[in-house]
């Protein structure tokens, strides 16, 4: 069933319910807010939104003022946590949604991870708020985010993006040609790279903060060779650490998504990122195993070691075939 068809059915269904029936169904404030947000996102007339709000037994004002802290409490309290301390339901199946996702999975599902960026640093996902509202309604736990990272090459490697918070004696060195960077650019210093990663995360956080009722206490950093990286792993390591450090200042815990061999090529084998957020210092990891089955993905949770020594594996990504949306299983 297409999403718009499902949405139309949702309008009709809730329009027929009385407030007492909805209350008996146990809808919480997060789900109510997500329903009304979806109606507005898909262009429903305000009178329809008001009628649905009335059927849900809440005022329009109450539905639109759910705080992030209230949302988190209502969406996570009844879910069995992972044995590794993850907020994702153990053995649950979830999906990752990006700026160009075309085929949304059929709800309900265990969890969702939504891209804040549009594939690379200093870009934004225009669908973020809509995808967040949809995933909040469709999944068992509050959605989390991922952020694409890359080294400072190209148009986003401006002086403003690499000049602080650290004071660097030198920002760029001689021009280099790199297969990963896709061209010839001035090579950033590790100090400039740290600032770039820090400001990438700052830019993404500001974008999320401007979306009504959209937030997450946990973000993933997407580290892949499809983006531009330095041949000097020390530069790449500083980008990653800078992004972690900024998000930690907002009390956001961070994990790493990567393919093990890509992580080796980009970050190197001797780099272990650090963090301290919410009293947690470990860096969870999430990585794919290609075309597979849910059973094999669950087995990977038990048998695959993280590409970061000592880090817990929280999610394994897999796909049933080359045309399906990415699926994930929580370890």
Phi, psi dihedral angles at 255 (to 5 degrees): -125, 170
User: d(Cα 88, Cα 107) in Å, to the nearest integer?
Assistant: 16
Return the pLDDT at 52. 58
Return the pLDDT at 264. 96
User: d(Cα 35, Cα 61) in Å, to the nearest integer?
Assistant: 14
What is the pTM (predicted TM-score) of this model? 0.75
Return the pLDDT at 228. 93
Return the pLDDT at 246. 98
User: d(Cα 263, Cα 297) in Å, to the nearest integer?
Assistant: 20
CATH class of segment(s) 71-330: alpha beta
What is the β-pairing status of strands 313-319 and 327-330? antiparallel
> Could you read off the pLDDT of 67-126 as tens digits, one per residue?
332 333 223 222 333 445 788 999 999 999 999 888 788 889 999 999 999 999 999 999
Closest CA to 327 of 284, 297, 302: 297
Beta-bridge partners for 111:
94
- Below-70 pLDDT ranges, the chain: 1-84, 178-182, 323
**Domain range annotation of the chain:** 3-63, 71-330
Helices (H), the chain: 3-16, 19-25, 29-41, 46-55, 60-63, 68-76, 128-138, 159-162, 190-209, 233-249, 260-267, 294-303
Q: What is the DSSP string of 67-112?
A: -HHHHHHHHHTTSPPPTTS-SSPTT-EEEEE-TT--SPPPSPBSEE
Return the pLDDT at 136. 94
Burial label, 279 (beta-carbon count in 10 A; 0-12, 13-18, 19+): exposed
User: d(Cα 140, Cα 207) in Å, to the nearest integer?
Assistant: 25
For residue 185 the two structure tokens come to: 């650019």
Contact of 164 with 195, CB cutoff 8 Å:
yes
């Amino acid at each position: 069933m297409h999403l718009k068809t499902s949405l139309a059915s949702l309008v009709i269904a809730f329009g027929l319910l009385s407030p007492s029936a909805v209350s008996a169904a146990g809808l919480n404030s997060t789900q109510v807010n997500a329903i009304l947000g979806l109606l507005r996102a898909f262009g429903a007339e305000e009178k329809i939104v008001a009628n649905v709000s009335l059927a849900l037994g809440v005022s329009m004002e109450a539905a639109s003022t759910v705080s992030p802290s209230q949302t988190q409490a209502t969406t996570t309290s009844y879910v069995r946590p992972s044995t590794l301390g993850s907020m994702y339901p153990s053995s649950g199946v979830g999906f990752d949604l990006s700026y160009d996702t075309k085929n949304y999975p059929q709800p309900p599902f265990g969890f969702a991870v939504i891209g804040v960026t549009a594939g690379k640093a200093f870009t934004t996902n225009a669908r973020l708020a809509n995808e967040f509202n949809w995933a909040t309604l469709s999944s068992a736990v509050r959605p989390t985010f991922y952020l694409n990272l890359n080294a400072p090459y190209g148009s986003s490697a401006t002086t403003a993006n690499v000049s602080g918070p650290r004071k660097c004696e030198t920002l760029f060195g001689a021009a280099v040609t790199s297969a990963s960077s896709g061209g010839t650019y001035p090579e950033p210093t590790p100090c400039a790279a740290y600032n770039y990663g820090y400001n990438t995360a700052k830019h993404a956080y500001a974008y999320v903060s401007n979306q009504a009722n959209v937030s997450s206490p946990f973000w993933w950093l997407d580290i892949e060779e499809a983006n531009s990286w330095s041949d000097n792993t020390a530069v790449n390591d500083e980008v990653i650490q800078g992004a972690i450090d900024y998000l930690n200042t907002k009390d956001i815990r961070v994990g790493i998504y990567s393919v093990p061999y890509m992580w080796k090529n980009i970050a190197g084998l001797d780099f272990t990122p650090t963090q301290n957020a919410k009293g947690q210092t470990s860096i969870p990891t999430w990585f794919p195993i290609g075309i597979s089955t849910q059973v094999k993905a669950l087995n990977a949770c038990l048998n695959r070691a993280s590409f970061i020594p000592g880090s817990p594996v929280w999610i394994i990504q897999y796909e049933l075939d080359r045309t399906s949306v990415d699926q994930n299983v929580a370890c």
